[in-house]
Structure 1
């Protein structure tokens, strides 16, 4: 067995077959770094492509294509030095120009990247104007004075800028391949990538297979030969396949973590995760009743979050009264009035507010549709929440579920009354959550607009101590209630003890197959 440079402890016997197979709920949104918008797709893209920096098992930055960077005294210019041994899977050297091309592509209105707004958040010079169609992509503040130097100019200092370059949107793209194949460039037979793996097979809604990229600069340290993603749209079936040894990892069905942790103490995990779960009100074209803040407050108060996390999900989730999770780096959860009330007090206040708004007993019956993407846990949360509304407030809710890609399109197009929302941090800082509630955010699906929130979030970007600003934003959101925070995630998975190297301490749960390995039985 060869010696590996990866973190395989001395004395560990590796399995003969180095493979990892895991289950995912839905087909991913895309394998194009500048187009992908979901967590499952990003997990695959991180294997196929490599950005300037990666993350280690604790979520710290480690070199990727970039070896290092320097910031100017005013923190407006970042100069990245790229390694000279990074090449694409076809043998072409990876250059700073590949990043320039990718970043210009991400902001180009012609591509209509769902993450174009992320490049705006990075405060790259002229980014916002280009996304708005007011300037050409070539005006973006990114340049390559030579093949191994990438220079980024910001419009204002951003303390967490380097944290943002581990995100897929910022990964390089092979211009020559995209120009030849257009939208078909991500097919296995066409794709050229620069990560530790290449795409060998993709059967939509069934499976995706990636194999080691022999041209990857650190290929000698890679242990896993093959990584397979299986699309299994049912949590219970996923667990059955895990028990049969057909998959190494799967999500735990809602409510089953306690029993599985007892049965498989070394393979059932509940890990804090940088994600929130919430309900969006459609404030743009939803029911008239949703324009009344009393209605929104009443619906938020009547939900017993303890019941949802302790009895329905049972996986270590945290009841949420603020949008930003407590696991976020350097963030203190602010006090909001609703959090300090008992559930009985919330229920009484909810009835009072709804009656004031003209609904409930002696008034009109409030009715609306709730949209979620197909999944047993989402369905259970929806059923429990709507039962609480019905029993406590007399509200009639019709449930509607859609397959993931259709759901994303429907929600984005505002074709819903209320819809499930969830967000996993793109980087570990509170702005990755609170920016979603600014007027211009691409993922502000509630279409909430508050000038003070916009002002505070702009100010926070260059503040040495943004916590007071974030506290005020959270308090405004708690008062206005454009979204109803339900809970903050924990990662609930069954992971075979044969698979080692998982980044248990990375709250973003950004993982790289190149860091994993399979041990012998």
Structure 2
């Protein structure tokens, strides 16, 4: 049976495409909805609900011609008015869309988002039932990629008006994508079934998709090894090398257009008007150590915001990126002292992060390095995902927090725009008029070379102000069942269930025999390794001077182990499955 079981990493807050934020929702929404444009398995932009489009010579008028055979899941036709309604709803301040800023290139979008104009003034018009026109404020080279973002998805107006905020729940949601929402068991799984009214339904092979909110990667891996998951969102750090040996076909590592960093709340002490202190903390993080000893997945140490992978753009590097770590530490200690802190008067801060061992390890390692080099007293606060999002957005409690960004589209502007004053994802309280002006110039510039120079200057200014600490550029690493075909690695890490299918399964007897042979091989290899003193659980030794002392931590939820090391636990075979832990209900 063509039925796909996917680890989703966490539970989405909502499946309203204009309110949802974060990866857990985005993965599911790509299956439920379809924008004007779509993506091929390799990430290339292709027609979606619009079969074709025209762009005016000045780049400021887009005309989209919708598929006449595109239907909502209830059989209603997908019309230009549906996109007009959806775009206006997304831009309406009353909706409070987390990502409405991606609409800013559209004419009057800035004024609508600010509440200075009504949503009806947004530059979108239905020329007829199946023709949509979008007028732009400025030429926008990446705009076609934006139209695949959930904030641009259409909404079925009749059901949204009938059910109100509950329109996105099972039984109410009317969608236009390849799948429909069939069920949602909170903290257990979300079920999708094939949308028989989808315009390309005959080419959709996967009949059912199940998404599971596994916050614990080890639990997800256990389910995968038992054949109860076909796809994991991550793999545990401490089992990575073991998986490389025993599951080379299943382990998939790919570059990802994303950045991991720590954020500062510039609206709360001690970081208000204190770029020197922020720089001191940034200098202290040994990125080579963090990527080699903590993450261990081939991530690239980062000293700027925009990761590699964007065509024709290279980020600026701060001067200190060329220093040795000893030189950075010395400068950090000088800045720390100038800010008024010392051994007798240490900086005390809180670091907030979400559930998951990898997030915990990064927070522990950062806190430990700050303590070792500067004497900073850091308290770690592990928060459930939804609570973390709320605290980060309100900017009342946060000081330092886990942060990052995976690009909405393959353009540096996606990263730079995060720090625009008033941006929905500006959780840092950063505001700089010069920076905002540069972003406006970037949006208006049509000449690629000039636009690149403006982006370079904007990123350079951001690195001087230091509202965040760059740490590393992402790679994806997950387990994928080798029988699952129809998907490709891409830097956006967007994978649609509609593109996938399973090869015909081998006989049950063959599968059982193969599983037994594989288990016997694993046991023999581990016995051999144990006999030579290199068995499971062996710690990765640190070089001289790389010791990371423990940091104080407070667990508000999740893993209660307060003595966990910031360093990886070595290459250990996964322990026998615990049936009572994190049952997925499969």
Deviation at 1:217, TM superposition (A): 0.6
State whether structure 2 residue 127 is matched by structure 1 residue 145. Answer: yes
Residue number in structure 2 paired with 1:262: 245
Quote the offset at 1:289 in angstroms. Answer: 4.8
CA distance in 2: counterparts of 1:476 and 1:108, whole angstroms = 31
Q: Aligned-residue CA RMSD in angstroms? A: 1.3
Counterpart of 2:96?
112
CA displacement, residues 212-243 of structure 1 (integer Å, 9 cap, x when unaligned): 11111101101111110011221111111111
Alignment of 1:423-462 (within 5 A): 423-462=405-444
Residue pair 1:255, 1:313 contacting (<8 A) in 2 also: no
8 A Cα contact 1:255 1:315, kept in partner: no
Q: Which runs of 5+ in 2 are unaligned?
A: 507-586
Normalising by structure 1, we get a TM-score of: 0.94
* 1:247 and 2:229 correspond: yes
* From 313, 319, 327, the counterpart of 2:309: 327
**1:179-328 equivalences in 2 (<5 Å):** 179-250=161-232, 251-284=234-267, 286-328=268-310
Of 448, 456, 459, the residue aligned with 1:471 is 456
Conserved 8 A contact 2:255-2:474: yes
Aligned position for 1:7: none
Tell me how far apart the structure 2 counterparts of residues 29 and 316 of structure 1 sit (CA, whole Å): 31
Structure 1 match to 2:6: 22
* 2:452 is aligned with 1:490: no
**What is the aligned partner in structure 2 of residue 394 from structure 1?**
375
* Alpha-carbon separation, structure 2, partners of 1:148 and 1:218: 18
Structure-2 separation of matches of 1:494 and 1:299 = 35
1:63 deviation in Å?
Answer: 1.0
How far, CA to CA, are the matches of 2:269 and 2:79 in structure 1? Answer: 51
Instruction: Name the structure 1 match of 2:501.
Output: 517
- Report the Cα distance in structure 2 between the residues aligned to 1:55 and 1:255, rounded to whole angstroms: 34
The structural deviation recorded for 1:423 is 0.9
TM value normalised by structure 2: 0.84
71-80 or 471-480, which moves further after superposition? 471-480
Structure-2 separation of matches of 1:262 and 1:324: 33
| Structure 1 partner of 2:73 | 89
1:257 is displaced (CA, Å) by 2.5
Alpha-carbon distance in structure 2 between the residues aligned to 1:56 and 1:262: 32
The equivalent position to 2:366 in structure 1, one of 372, 385, 389, is: 385
* Equivalent-residue separation in structure 1 for 2:238 and 2:322 (angstroms): 27
- Cα distance in 1 between the residues matched to 2:227 and 2:33: 29
Give, in whole Å, the separation in 1 of the partners of 2:462 and 2:61. 34
Aligned to 2:541: none
Q: What is the alpha-carbon distance in structure 1 between the residues aligned to residue 317 and residue 117 of structure 2?
A: 43
Asked whether the equivalents of residues 63 and 132 of structure 2 are also in contact (C-alpha less than 8 Å), the reply is yes
Q: Computing the radius of gyration over CA atoms, which structure comes out larger, 1 or 2?
A: 2
Secondary structure of the residue aligned to 2:176 is coil
Q: Is the 8 A contact 1:159 1:462 kept in 2?
A: no
The answer on 1:168 being equivalent to 2:153 is no
* Per-residue deviation, residues 36-83 of structure 1 (Å, max 9, x unmatched): 111121111111111111111221111111111111121111000111
Whether contact under 8 Å (2:279, 2:332) holds in the other structure is yes
Q: Which runs of 5 or more structure 1 residues have no equivalent in the other structure?
A: 1-16
- State the distance in 1 between where 2:360 and 2:422 align: 30
- Count of residue pairs the alignment pairs up: 500
Q: CA deviation at 1:440?
A: 2.3
Q: Whole-Å Cα distance in 2 between the matches of residues 228 and 446 of structure 1? A: 35
The CA deviation string for residues 449-498 of structure 1, in whole angstroms up to 9 with x for no partner, is 12221111111112222221222222222222110011111011011111
Within the alignment, does 1:77 sit opposite 2:58 as a pair? no
Looking at structure 1, the residues matched to 389 and 87 of structure 2 have their Cα atoms a distance apart, in angstroms, of: 24
CA distance in 1, matches of 2:45, 2:222: 37
Q: Provide, for residues 369-419 of structure 1, a one-character-per-residue CA deviation record: whole Å limited to 9, x for no partner.
A: 011111111000000110000011100000001111111110000021111
Q: Does the 8 Å contact 1:257/1:492 carry over to 2?
A: no
Structure 1 position 348, deviation (Å):
1.3
Distance between the aligned counterparts of 2:294 and 2:81, measured in 1? 50
Q: Is residue 68 from structure 1 mapped to residue 52 from structure 2 by the alignment?
A: yes
Spell out structure 1 runs of 4+ moving beyond 3 A. Answer: none
Whether contact under 8 Å (2:102, 2:146) holds in the other structure is no
Structure 2 match to 1:404: 385
